């Protein structure tokens, strides 16, 4: 297995409250581990215009599975934080780091 750092972009179409943001960061925190912390990467970045990006680590056998897992994790975290899927559409994920023993 390889550890991938994946960036998942999205847009909050109706904004995000402080409590939703805190809940989202809490839900995503288990995915913010050694590689991303040592690189000083923010788990959640909010930009002007409601856009955001989530950077998280996933272990997967390949890039494709890592990207699928990342989108699933972010989607589930948004739902648990009380953000409807229609209020935060996600863009295509991107591999932004790889940590492998190969």
Q: What pLDDT shows up at residue 19?
A: 93
In this prediction, what percent of the chain has a pLDDT beyond 70?
Answer: 86
* pTM to 2 decimal places: 0.86
CB-based contact 56:32 (threshold 8 Å): yes
| Digit-coded pLDDT (tens) for 45-63 | 999 899 999 998 899 999 9
Q: Give CATH for domain 2-99.
A: 3.30.70
Q: Are strands 51-60 and 94-99 parallel, antiparallel or unpaired?
A: unpaired
CA-closest candidate to residue 5, choices 76, 73, 87: 73
67 sits in which H/E element:
helix 63-80
């Amino acid at each position: 297995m390889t550890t991938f750092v994946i960036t998942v972009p999205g847009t909050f179409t109706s904004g995000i409250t402080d409590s939703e943001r805190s809940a989202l960061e809490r839900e995503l925190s288990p995915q913010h581990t050694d590689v991303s912390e040592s690189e000083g990467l923010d788990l959640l970045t909010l930009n002007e215009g409601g856009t955001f990006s989530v950077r998280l680590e996933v272990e997967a056998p390949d890039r494709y599975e890592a990207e699928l897992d990342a989108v699933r994790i972010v989607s589930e975290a948004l739902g648990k934080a009380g953000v409807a899927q229609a209020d935060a559409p996600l863009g295509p994920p991107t591999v932004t780091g790889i940590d492998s023993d190969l």
